[in-house]
Structure formats: C-alpha cells, structure tokens
Structure 1
Amino acid sequence: MEEDSVFHAALSFKNVGADLGDKKLLQKVAERIVEHFRLDVVDVHWHYYAPIGITGVYVLQQSSLTLHTWPEFKKLVIDVTTCGSAVDLEIILPELKAALSTDTVLLSAEIL
C-alpha cells in the first residue's frame, strides 16, 4: 500500500452473545486490534448512552478506531481508518468473533 493512501475497514457484528454493556470487554477488543496491527493510540474516549449503548473512540497516530454498540439489537460496529498502512481485520476476525460470542459478521474494507 502506498504511504499516502488511506485504508478503511468496518466490521458489523450481529447476534452478539457477549455483554455489549461491558466496557472492559470492548476495551479488550479495541486494544487487541491496536496491539495486533501496532497502531499508536493518541487518546481514548468512551461515551455511555441512556438507557443503553457505548461508543469508544481511539484517536490513533494513523487515524482512528471506533466501536459502537446497540445492545438492544445485539449489534456492534467496529470502524478502523488508517493512513499509510492496511489493517487486514480478517486476520484476527476469528479471535474477535470468539470474544464477542458471534459468528455473524459483515466485513467491508477499501483503500481510499
């Protein structure tokens, strides 16, 4: 991938059996992505919605990683955008599916 290109990937998990209100679980998922792809975290913010739902935003030196939950629909979306390096989420997809207790996921990825 060219150094000045932008990579974007989105994972949409459905029928999640894990507790999507568990911030520690969501942090572990995000940190595993950061660790696996050697991304550099600049800042992290978590927002809680009433009555339910959590969004996590990881500002990266390379761009961003976000997680957004819809516990009432058993759904989680993970979005990764990086500049200069591709993040092939298929590599760790089995690990993420196991952590979230689901086999239902849609992956989309593109180089912008």
Structure 2
Amino acid sequence: MKALGQHLILELHGCPAAILDDPQRIEAAMIAAVEASGATMIKPYFHQFAPQGVSGMIIISESHFSIHTWPEYGYAALDVFTCGDVIDMVAATNSLREGLEAKNVQQMMLSRGILDLPDDMIHHKPQSKPAAAAGGLT
C-alpha cells in the first residue's frame, strides 16, 4: 500500500508572543520554511485577529503549509501536508522552530490517502493549472 501524501503536525511551545502576533514575521518564517523544504510556493495568505493571534496558509504545488497562533500562550499549531515525497520535512521543521523561536516542538507524521493499489496506479497531483483554467480562482 502506498500513501498519496504525508501530513506533518507541529506543536510549537515557548514562542515569544511578539512573534506570534506579527503576521509579517510569521509570513516570513513560513516562506523560509517552504523554501527550506524544497516546496514550490503558489500563494500565501495571512490574517491577524483582534485582540491577538494570526492564522495563515501557504498553498504550495505539493499541497499546503498552515499556522494558527495563540500569542497569549506562546503556542502555534502548524500543519505541513504534501502530496508525494519530495518535501524535506526535517528542513521545514528546523526552519519553523528557528523562525518562530520555539523552545519546544512536538511533532506527529501521518500518512494520508493510503490506497491498496499497485505503485504504477498511484498518481500525485499534476502541476498547477493557470488561474483561468482552474475556474478563475486566485
């Protein structure tokens, strides 16, 4: 059996509140992690909540990176989902730990889309389509 993708779940604790409440700093840390992992970035989006906290996502050709922060607890929840096996999850984790100055990182890896098919029948996502061909979504 083969999996369509890998899902890395990261629990980051002990992060400075000032970092976790700064959407520009979080976006920069996430982009650095995408680049370190070897993923292909398509589009980032980040949103700051009131009174605090940031959520964001980077769509990558291989799937996505996402983050939700709780500055008041020094905590960030991150997901890295990838179709295929070309992303360096260790490099992504190390980059995120450094960029968010986490004191403690817990992680769990899940195989997603486990199918009982021959290897030659498992196909990962094709290259992304231009926005117009994908229904005009941006």
> Fold match, TM over 0.5?
yes
Between the aligned partners of 1:44 and 1:70, the Cα distance in structure 2 is 20
Question: Which letter maps to 2:33?
Answer: I
Q: Which runs of 5+ in 1 are unaligned?
A: none
Does the 8 Å CA contact 1:3/1:83 hold for their aligned counterparts? no
Between the aligned partners of 2:56 and 2:72, the Cα distance in structure 1 is 17
How many angstroms does 1:95 deviate by?
A: 4.3
Correspondence list, 1:1-112, <5 A? 5-17=4-16, 19-85=19-85, 87-91=87-91, 93-112=93-112
TM-score (norm 1): 0.82
How many angstroms does 1:84 deviate by?
A: 0.9
How many angstroms does 1:51 deviate by?
A: 1.2
Q: What does the per-residue CA deviation read over 1:82-108, in whole Å, with 9 as the maximum and x for residues that have no partner?
A: 101254433454443333233211111
Q: Which runs of 5+ in 2 are unaligned?
A: 113-138
Identical columns (%): 24
Q: What does the per-residue CA deviation read over 1:56-101, in whole Å, with 9 as the maximum and x for residues that have no partner?
A: 1111111111011111111111111010125443345444333323
Larger Rg: 2
Root-mean-square deviation (CA, aligned residues, Å) is 2.3
The structure with higher relative contact order (CA 8 Å, sep 6+) is 1
List, as ranges, runs of 4+ consecutive aligned residues in structure 1 with deviation greater than 6 Å: none
